Amino acid sequence: MTTTVKVLYFASLREAVGRSAEEFALPAGVGTVGALRAHLAERGEGWQALGAGRNVRAALNQRMVGAEAAVAAGDEVAFFPPVTGG
Protein backbone atom coordinates (compact mmCIF):
# COMPACT_ATOMS: atom_id res chain seq x y z
CA MET A 1 0.00 0.00 0.00
CA THR A 2 1.34 3.42 -0.96
CA THR A 3 1.18 6.24 1.56
CA THR A 4 0.48 9.34 -0.51
CA VAL A 5 0.38 12.84 0.94
CA LYS A 6 -0.19 16.25 -0.58
CA VAL A 7 2.73 18.61 -0.08
CA LEU A 8 2.33 22.39 -0.45
CA TYR A 9 5.13 24.95 -0.75
CA PHE A 10 4.61 28.65 -0.03
CA ALA A 11 6.37 31.97 -0.68
CA SER A 12 10.14 31.75 -1.18
CA LEU A 13 10.05 27.95 -0.82
CA ARG A 14 7.65 27.72 -3.77
CA GLU A 15 10.07 29.80 -5.82
CA ALA A 16 13.09 27.72 -4.73
CA VAL A 17 11.55 24.33 -5.58
CA GLY A 18 9.68 25.51 -8.68
CA ARG A 19 6.23 24.28 -7.72
CA SER A 20 3.41 25.11 -5.37
CA ALA A 21 2.16 21.58 -4.67
CA GLU A 22 2.62 17.90 -5.43
CA GLU A 23 1.23 14.51 -4.53
CA PHE A 24 4.05 12.57 -2.92
CA ALA A 25 4.38 8.85 -2.14
CA LEU A 26 6.26 8.55 1.13
CA PRO A 27 9.29 6.27 0.92
CA ALA A 28 9.82 3.62 3.58
CA GLY A 29 11.16 5.17 6.76
CA VAL A 30 9.66 8.62 6.13
CA GLY A 31 6.89 8.87 8.70
CA THR A 32 7.23 12.32 10.25
CA VAL A 33 7.15 15.89 9.00
CA GLY A 34 10.86 16.24 9.82
CA ALA A 35 11.79 13.08 7.91
CA LEU A 36 9.71 14.24 4.93
CA ARG A 37 11.42 17.63 4.97
CA ALA A 38 14.88 16.01 5.11
CA HIS A 39 13.98 13.63 2.29
CA LEU A 40 12.75 16.47 0.08
CA ALA A 41 15.90 18.51 0.81
CA GLU A 42 17.96 15.67 -0.67
CA ARG A 43 16.41 16.21 -4.12
CA GLY A 44 19.04 18.75 -5.06
CA GLU A 45 19.88 22.39 -5.43
CA GLY A 46 16.61 24.32 -5.02
CA TRP A 47 15.31 21.77 -2.55
CA GLN A 48 18.07 22.62 -0.10
CA ALA A 49 15.84 25.52 0.95
CA LEU A 50 14.10 22.85 3.07
CA GLY A 51 17.37 21.57 4.53
CA ALA A 52 18.48 21.37 8.13
CA GLY A 53 19.39 24.71 9.62
CA ARG A 54 16.94 26.58 7.40
CA ASN A 55 14.11 28.45 9.08
CA VAL A 56 11.08 26.59 7.75
CA ARG A 57 7.67 26.17 9.37
CA ALA A 58 5.34 23.24 8.78
CA ALA A 59 1.62 22.61 9.00
CA LEU A 60 -0.07 19.23 8.98
CA ASN A 61 -3.70 19.32 7.85
CA GLN A 62 -3.69 23.11 8.39
CA ARG A 63 -2.32 22.98 11.95
CA MET A 64 1.16 24.12 12.92
CA VAL A 65 3.32 21.16 13.93
CA GLY A 66 6.87 20.29 14.86
CA ALA A 67 9.23 17.94 13.07
CA GLU A 68 8.10 14.98 15.19
CA ALA A 69 4.48 15.05 13.93
CA ALA A 70 3.49 11.75 12.30
CA VAL A 71 2.42 11.82 8.65
CA ALA A 72 -0.28 9.41 7.41
CA ALA A 73 -1.85 8.58 4.07
CA GLY A 74 -4.06 11.39 2.78
CA ASP A 75 -2.49 14.09 4.95
CA GLU A 76 -1.67 17.57 3.67
CA VAL A 77 1.75 18.88 4.66
CA ALA A 78 2.61 22.54 4.01
CA PHE A 79 6.06 24.09 4.24
CA PHE A 80 6.63 27.84 4.40
CA PRO A 81 9.14 30.39 5.64
CA PRO A 82 8.34 32.28 8.82
CA VAL A 83 5.90 35.11 8.22
CA THR A 84 6.44 38.57 9.60
CA GLY A 85 3.61 40.98 10.07
CA GLY A 86 3.27 44.63 10.52
DSSP string of 13-62, one letter each residue = HHHHHT-SEEEEEPPTT--BHHHHHHHHHTT-TGGGGGSTTS--EEEETT
Domain count, the chain: 1
Does 1 have pLDDT greater than 80? no
Q: Distance of CA 1 to CAs 18, 29, 37, 40, Å?
A: 29, 14, 22, 21
Q: Could you tell me the pTM of the whole model?
A: 0.92
For 56, phi and psi rounded to 5 degrees? -130, 135
Would you say residue 86 has pLDDT above 70? no
Domain of 61 in residue numbering reads as: 4-80
User: What pLDDT, on the 0 to 100 scale, is given for residue 2?
Assistant: 73
Inside any domain, residue 86: no
| Residue at 33 is within a domain | yes
- CATH number of the structural domain spanning residue 9: 3.10.20.30
* pLDDT per position as a tens digit, 29-85: 999 999 999 999 999 999 999 998 899 999 999 999 999 999 999 999 999 998 755
> Residues 4-13: pLDDT tens digits?
999 999 999 9
